[in-house]
Structure 1
Amino acid sequence: MLYLEILGNLPEMARDEVKAMLELSGGEIAGQDYLFLKLDADKRAFHYLNRLGLSHEYGELLIEANSLEELLEKAKEIEWPISGTFKVDTETMANCKYNVIDLPRKLGAVIHGKGFRVNLSKPDTLVRVYCGEKLYAGIRYRFFDPKDFERRKAHHRPFFRPISLHPRISRALVNLTKAREEILDPFMGAGGILMEAGLIGLKVYGVDIKPEMVEGARLNLEHFGVKDYELRLGDATKLEELFPDKKFEAVATDPPYGTSATLAGRARDELYRKALRSIYNVLEDGGRLAIAFPTSFDGEAEAEKVGFKLVGKYYQRVHKSLERYFYVFEK
């Protein structure tokens, strides 16, 4: 059994991202306690869990308890898979029911009593205790360092455009498509979604109607070490012409939200409708589309008219003039 802590800013989207990755690896979510997920999965899931964008960490779940006393008793009975030195660290969630102030010391004493050495500054193994409706203890395997995503934000790229999804969200959109090998972004802009897809080993295809965006995306992909890409200058409403003999496994994209002046002279809603139709035509049967639309556009209804089936829908308020939904559709 594994545990995983998701981030709290888009929790439903984060949970569904985990679910999608587990479906690729033969696992499932076995339970949830606030932002803490219990995963019925094994090491086969690590490859896909390592792709996650909206998660904090994951590891091996060793103990689940309904009291401090029960947790400490179970800690005495189990074999702790600790390498080298260790430290106990507590995560007190918003729904924590227990007083865990002294728990790191008490649990640390139990583990130390089994012959393991404590190192509070640079431990080899981090023992994590989560406090929610229940208490959980485990060994951390992977921490998703926010700095890894922050360094790929728009202002750190060689080709800079201020309007761009956060890299964590871009990564989540890619994962929600359940792509295994490749992905298309027909409104690639500066290439933020393609960067995240390429960094997890997917072949990436990008389209933009502006030549400067195609060249800029190329600069960004190369800068961050993404080599397996194919970029084309073209129209997102005419993908069948750009890829006449190609069907894509998955599509993830963030279309422009601006006025017609910023949309190559076309009305926004009509652009969205035509793009949805074109994406549907180049997507494999069973393939997924992850896409963002402002709330003023009924993405669900328009996608269903084309033939898509809604899989997920997540609301985000960016600022007072922009509220949007992230959608996941399946063909």
Structure 2
Amino acid sequence: MMFYVEILGMLPEMAKAEVRALSELGGGEVVGSDYLLVYGNVEDVSVLRRLGLAHEYGILLGSFDSAQDLLEYSSSLEWNKLIKGTFAVRRERMINCSHNVEGLDKKLGAIIHAQGFKVSLSRPDTVVRIYCGERLWLGVRIREFRGKEFDARKADRRPFSRPIALPPRIARAMVNLTRATRELLDPFMGTGGMLIEAGLMGLKVYGIDIREDMVEGAKINLEHYGVKDYVVKVGDATRIKEVFPGKTFEAIATDPPYGTSTTLPMDRDELYRRALESMYEVLEGYLSIAFPADFDAIDVAESIGFKVLDRFYQRVHSSLSRYFYVMKT
């Protein structure tokens, strides 16, 4: 099945990599992109339900050089196989739109309506999508990711809250970048944000934090969001084998403390190096991790044995810039 994903603009390269990772899990691949539209083919499109850094995804019906080509193609489609109930056509002009699309949504709507479907602009059962970029793209939305569902899991909305935590969308993307299908470990779990996102995807989650209050708080948060399949322990991220003796992990996603407002148990760079060594000992697949931009993560990780596959830059504020990395053992 051909699919499209409309990604968020805040971390576009990371968002594209997230789509690539999930496409692999779904038995397919990303074929290309047109600004914030990513497209490809996949055997199991439902895997895209896991997306974090996306506005929506759906079935891709085709791409076109002109509005006339799009309309002619639409006239030949059997819309009864694509539309359930009422419908609406939504048009999106991306920043690189190079076509005149004025009124194109109404013309397409008239074609579909002529096949016997009822229009509902306010609450349609099916949304037909037109995207204008370098080309014109036609699709049918499967799911829209609303901001409020992620906002409900922000740090300040959790029962046990601390001010320093990744936004849920980014945490979810980091989990997806690990290609996890069964389980995930976060050895610096804090209040459990990464584990919440992984648990809501149906993964069994494991967490470690050196502070007992964080472990108890993470349990409260996991239970609050309905995550039941978890194991969280007080422990040292530089000694994972001691916390989970004899256990290896399919995937690890974590956001270590940056040392800006936290007292670290040792020199920051030494903590990172030892933690990476500890993760390497227990990991069987992918690691998704964030580090401050001034830490030489690539050299350290490669000296341990990791293969660094990707990194994505983000300026958080004036005193913090970071990279998100994807590594593999």
* TM-score normalised to structure 2 length: 0.97
Q: Which amino acid aligns with 1:305?
A: S
| Contact 1:318-1:324 at 8 Å conserved across structures | yes
Following superposition of structure 1 onto structure 2, how do residues 1-331 of structure 1 map, counting pairs within 5 Å? Answer: 1-42=2-43, 44-46=44-46, 48-80=47-79, 81-258=82-259, 262-264=263-265, 266-284=266-284, 287-331=285-329
Q: Which amino acid aligns with 1:89?
A: R
**C-alpha distance in 2 between matches for 1:63 and 1:309:** 37
| Contact 1:21-1:178 at 8 Å conserved across structures | yes
| Contact 1:259-1:267 at 8 Å conserved across structures | no
Corresponding pairs, count:
326
Q: Using a 3 Å threshold, how does the CA distance of structure 1 residues 260 and 235 change in structure 2: closer, same or farther?
A: farther
1:259-290 residue CA offsets vs partner (Å, 9 max, x unmatched)? 596113x1111100100000101112xx1111
Q: Which amino acid aligns with 1:45?
A: V
User: Could you tell me how far 1:291 is from its partner in structure 2?
Assistant: 0.5
| Contact 1:3-1:37 at 8 Å conserved across structures | yes
**C-alpha distance in 1 between matches for 2:94 and 2:28:** 25
| Contact 1:27-1:45 at 8 Å conserved across structures | no
Q: Using a 3 Å threshold, how does the CA distance of structure 1 residues 260 and 114 change in structure 2: closer, same or farther?
A: closer
Q: Using a 3 Å threshold, how does the CA distance of structure 1 residues 110 and 259 change in structure 2: closer, same or farther?
A: closer
**C-alpha distance in 1 between matches for 2:263 and 2:322:** 18
User: Could you tell me how far 1:158 is from its partner in structure 2?
Assistant: 0.6
Q: Using a 3 Å threshold, how does the CA distance of structure 1 residues 87 and 261 change in structure 2: closer, same or farther?
A: closer
User: Could you tell me how far 1:209 is from its partner in structure 2?
Assistant: 0.5
Task: Answer with 153-162 or 3-12: which moved more.
Answer: 3-12
Q: Using a 3 Å threshold, how does the CA distance of structure 1 residues 49 and 260 change in structure 2: closer, same or farther?
A: closer
1:179-233 residue CA offsets vs partner (Å, 9 max, x unmatched)? 1100110000111001100010011110011111111111111111111110110
**C-alpha distance in 1 between matches for 2:247 and 2:131:** 47
| Contact 2:254-2:288 at 8 Å conserved across structures | yes
| Contact 1:292-1:327 at 8 Å conserved across structures | yes
Task: Answer with 52-61 or 316-325: which moved more.
Answer: 52-61
1:63-90 residue CA offsets vs partner (Å, 9 max, x unmatched)? 3211111111111111111111111100
| Contact 1:26-1:45 at 8 Å conserved across structures | no
Unpaired segments of 5 or more residues in structure 2? Answer: none
Q: Which amino acid aligns with 1:226?
A: V
Q: Which amino acid aligns with 1:274?
A: R
1:283-312 residue CA offsets vs partner (Å, 9 max, x unmatched)? 12xx11110000110111110111000111
Task: Answer with 288-297 or 80-89: which moved more.
Answer: 80-89
Q: Provide the secondary structure at the position in 2 that maps to 1:178.
A: coil
Q: Provide the secondary structure at the position in 1 that maps to 2:50.
A: coil
Q: Provide the secondary structure at the position in 1 that maps to 2:316.
A: strand
User: Could you tell me how far 1:94 is from its partner in structure 2?
Assistant: 0.6
Unpaired segments of 5 or more residues in structure 1? Answer: none
Structure 1 ranges of 4+ moved more than 4 A: none
User: Could you tell me how far 1:123 is from its partner in structure 2?
Assistant: 1.2
1:15-41 residue CA offsets vs partner (Å, 9 max, x unmatched)? 111111111121111221111122212
| Contact 1:260-1:268 at 8 Å conserved across structures | no
1:124-165 residue CA offsets vs partner (Å, 9 max, x unmatched)? 111110000111111111111111111000000011101000
| Contact 1:312-1:327 at 8 Å conserved across structures | yes
* TM-score normalised to structure 1 length: 0.96
Q: Provide the secondary structure at the position in 1 that maps to 2:228.
A: coil
Q: Which amino acid aligns with 2:283?
A: L
Q: Using a 3 Å threshold, how does the CA distance of structure 1 residues 123 and 45 change in structure 2: closer, same or farther?
A: closer
